[in-house]
Amino acid sequence: MAKVLMNGNSAIGEAAIRAGCQCYFGYPITPQNELTEYMATHLSRKKGCTFIQAESEISAINMVYGASLAGVRAMTSSSSPGISLKQEGISYLAACELPAVIVNMTRGGPGLGSISAAQSDYFQATRGGGHGDYRTIVLAPSSVQELADLTYKAFDLSDKYRVPLVILGDGMLGQMIEPVEFSYEAPKEPIIRNNALRGAKGRTSRIVKTFTSNPATVEEINWSLFRRYQLIKQEEVVWDTFMVEDAQLIVVAFGIAARIAKGAIKSARIEGMKVGMLRPITLWPFPAEKVREVANRTNYFLVFEMNMGQMIEDVQLALEGAGEVSFYGRTGGVIPTPNEVLRVISRLYYQKGLK
Amino acid sequence: MKKIYTRPKSLKRTPFHYCPGCGHSITHKIMTELIDEMNLQDKTIGIPPPGCSVFAYNYFDIDMAESAHGRGAAVATGLKRAYPEAIVFTYQGDGDLAAIGTAETIHASNRGENITAIFINNAVYGMTGGQMAPTTLLSQKTTTTPYGRDDKIEGYPIKMSEILALVKGSAYIERVAVNSPANIIKAKKAIRKAFQVQIDCLGFSMVEILSPCPTNWKMSPVESWKWIDEVMVKEFPLGVIKDITGKKDAG
Amino acid sequence: MLVKTIIAGFGGQGVLSIGLSLTQAAMLEGRYVTYLPSYGAEVRGGTANCTVAISDEEIASPVASTPEFVIAMNQPSLIRFQNQIQSGGVLFLNSSLTQAEISRGDIEVVQVPADNIAEELGNRKSANVVMLGAFIKKSNLVSLDSVVKGLKDTLKEKQKLRAINKEALITGYNLF
Ligand SMILES: Cc1ncc(C[n+]2csc(CCOP(=O)(O)OP(=O)(O)O)c2C)c(N)n1
Ligand code: SF4
């Protein structure tokens, strides 16, 4: 297929349909409306598919829960304030081992905040977000093309491990238009998982529930989830690197911030500074081992995020004191420029006496 | 020279950010006039929502507090209970009051909370760019009903005024429009009455206002005024829907 | 080389659509390109703008704090963006709807009476495309051919509109 121009939100919609997503439930919120609208136009009329604009995000995530019970691929999307509302539902999805894809086109917070791009929902996404002892897989794309590619992956991973999965984008990725190519064709037949609730025809009836009066049963559920999470940590860590081989200073950044940082690093290289980048693509599981590996080459890290410093804690945990970690962040929806990051890199480079 | 017109005292000197022809501007104007006329500027507290009117606090020169989407009635409840002397109103769009905030609204009304809801029904989600609202008319096109609202898929335009009239705790409910000088005068009277009901501690009051959104209706302001008369009032008839005061017009 | 352009005007003047045409043309030429519209509350009250970044390598940020080019289709856009243009950059003014009071000596100003020209051509609505024509000639960012091809893709079904736009584009192009 040839490249087409699309904004990030619509690209997720198209990729989701091609990944076999059959149900979409949403509630309007800027800056992700184009995704809801894309599904209203393109999914609603597909045979066997459902689009509902719910009366709230709480309802939307609960509709996803229902669709997932029925064994089909379902998704919802929102932006920060709406994702806060979905947390209750995500906790139930995790507890019931139900797959679901949840897109967060993050905006500035806390509160109503701003509608501009931010990364301040990192903690919420990577720590589970709702109540209880659970994790979600978190994917962090940094271009419209990657939004599409990671959307296919999202449905596969979520189904494979039966865990809810969060695509953590931001307002700018959602709004910007770039050329994108779709490599998948939508499946001819609907994808229906095993063990779905579709009537106890020819089998014993099934129950999906989380509440029990016996704490030991809940503990057992937690252990079973935990073993699966260990497996995900072993198998599914994804990252990208840029010019780390000879780097004296490593920038760690994800999503749109990584893209801005890459621009800064290219300029820094022209000025003779040996700077490289490690970009986590799965934020959970976090590429901790990779961080330790690059720490064998240099001691100096700069974590750059569009928040007040959240992923930095994962970098520090990974290093266990082995490196010196600095931080630079803009937040609230302020979009830093590559030049701004370059200035921070230069200052650090010389302060630390790197050559 | 005799002054025959002046800007309401409780309307700040800030240019509105609303689109030309938007019903929010008109409603703000008559509400601030009323707050002046009823001498309520120092005790009225407004709760604006996320929605096009999210910046209402830039225009009303009174105490105001933003609420989370749809939670206005709950916030107003807490405020009024904690400080009953205040005149508390929520200012809510149709998405806010009739979709995400339905539960809060119905229960506040059912408890007979002494608060006033100013409910702007413009049949779309204005701020987020013209998606379907619960009040969107059948076959009306919006960005999320690109083929027109279909009752088999999206259900019917919801009539909050009629629903809330059935709830025991509501005291006064009227539907008005702000699409002509005559209707604007009626709208002002209705809001005056709603405030009076609150002052008299009679229970929950609400004024539903059919309000033009030329931008998302993709019409000129004049066309949007006509559309309210010719199309919208057929689904949402104007008039008093519930009134337990027995008095006809306070205004 | 990375070049960023901000296109601004009233909603309805078609600033977003010429931004898209420019983006489309750049894509057809195999360049890296991003397009970022203004959105949300920013567009209430009737103004709109978009930023197009075109480059020969990956684009770090689609945002332009100091654009090389600005197209101002109306007076508020002129006021808002003239101070952001990079020193040595070019300001394209729709002189039909703006009174230029340029307070800077370090930028070039190109005046295009886009609305007047479009009106003479018989369709005032194509003022944006007249401006696009003038812009690609003066900026040399993309070729006329690619823009024409791009118009074909974006206005697939509307034959007549395409003819009008093509004429407007070429008239604008031949101004300089
Ligand atoms: C939890 C949450 N979900 C979604 C939004 C996004 N949002 C802002 S305003 C709005 C609805 C606007 O429509 P309406 O209430 O009809 O008011 P109008 O803008 O038309 O005046 C939405 C969905 C939000 N702020 N918070
Ligand atoms: S979008 Fe509609 S409701 Fe919002 S300010 Fe404009 S006209 Fe008013």
Structurally, how many domains does chain B consist of?
A: 1
Reported as a single tens digit per residue, the pLDDT across A173-232 is 999 999 999 998 999 998 999 888 888 888 888 889 888 889 999 999 999 999 999 999
* Residues paired with residue B124 on neighbouring β-strands, in sequence order: B132
- pLDDT higher than 90, residue C156: no
Question: Does B127 sit within 8 Å of C40, measured CB to CB?
Answer: yes
> Quick check: A119 pLDDT over 50?
yes
The answer on A111 and A215 residing in a single domain is yes
Query: Does B1 reside within a domain?
Result: no
- Residues with Cβ within 8 Å of A87's Cβ and at least 6 positions away in sequence, in order, are A124, A129, A130, A131
User: Based on the domain organization, do A178 and A58 belong to the same domain?
Assistant: yes
pLDDT per position as a tens digit, A234-269: 999 999 999 999 999 999 999 999 999 999 999 999
Q: Which of A218, A235, A252 is the endpoint of a domain?
A: A235
- Residues A210 and A307 placed together within one structural domain of the fold: no
Please check the confidence at residue A132 and state whether its pLDDT lies above 90: yes
Average pLDDT, whole number, for chain B? Answer: 94
- Among A216, A235, A254, the domain boundary falls at A235
Residue B247 predicted with pLDDT over 80:
no
Q: Residue B198 region, left (φ>0) first, then alpha (ψ -120 to 50), else beta? A: alpha
Give the range of the structural domain holding residue B154, as residue numbers without chain letter: 23-243
- B160 Cβ inside 6 Å of ligand 1: no
pLDDT band, residue B26 (cuts 50/70/90): very high
B2's tokens? 């005799």
Residue-wise burial string across C90-125, b where 16 or more C-beta atoms lie within 10 A, e elsewhere: bbbbbbbbbeeeeeeeebebbebbbbbbbbebeeeb
Tell me the CATH number at C130.
3.40.920.10
CB-neighbour burial class of residue A230 (10 A; exposed 0-12, middle 13-18, buried 19+): exposed
The CATH number covering residue B64 comes to 3.40.50.970
B152 has a chain A CB within 8 A of its CB? no
For residue B185, give every residue at least 6 positions away whose Cβ sits within 8 Å of its Cβ, in sequence order, or none: none
Q: Which domain holds residue A262?
A: 240-351
Q: Is residue B130 part of a domain?
A: yes
**CA of B9: how far to CAs of A130, B13, B63, B99, C118, in Å?**
46, 9, 14, 34, 46
Least confident piece of the model among A8-22, A93-107, B21-35, C158-172? C158-172
User: Tokens 């979009």 correspond to what residue?
Assistant: A335
Interchain pair B144, A55: CB under 8 A: no
How far is residue A52's CA from residue A25's CA, in Å, rounded to a whole number? 5
pTM: 0.90
| Distance (Å) from CA B132 to ligand 1 centroid | 11
Domain count across chain A: 2
Q: Do B54 and C41 touch (CB under 8 A)?
A: yes
pLDDT digits 0-9 by tens, A37-64? 999 999 999 998 999 999 999 999 999 9
Q: Please check whether residue B11 lies inside any domain of the structure.
A: no
Position C40 confidence tier, pLDDT thresholds 50, 70, 90: low
Q: Evaluate if residue B249 carries a pLDDT over 80.
A: no
- Residue B251: predicted pLDDT: 41
User: Are both A231 and A244 inside the same structural domain?
Assistant: no
- pLDDT value for B11: 95
Give the domain extent around C9: 2-173
A94-115 mean pLDDT:
96
Name the neighbours of B, counting chains with at least 3 Cβ pairs within 8 A.
A, C
CATH number (domain holding residue A200) = 3.40.50.970
Q: Residue A270: give its domain's CATH number.
A: 3.40.50.920
**Mean pLDDT along residues B47-75:** 92
Q: Is B133 in the pocket of ligand 1 (CB under 6 A)?
A: yes
Residues A230 and A285 in one domain: no
Query: Is residue B105 in contact with ligand 2, taking CB distance under 6 Å?
Result: no
Structural domain tally of chain C?
1
- In chain B, the residue whose alpha carbon lies closest to the alpha carbon of C41 is B127
What does the pLDDT look like over B143-181, one tens digit per residue?
Answer: 999 999 999 999 999 999 999 999 999 999 999 999 999
What B145-153 contacts at long range (C-beta under 8 Å, 24+ apart), as own/partner pairs, is: B145/A40, B146/A37, B146/A40, B146/A41, B147/A44, B147/A45, B153/A44
In our burial notation (b when 16+ CB lie closer than 10 A, e otherwise), range A52-62 reads: bbbbbbbbbbb
pLDDT of residue A318: 97
Query: Can you give the pLDDT at residue C110?
Result: 96
Tell me what the pLDDT averaged over chain C comes to.
91
Residues A268 and A181 in one domain: no
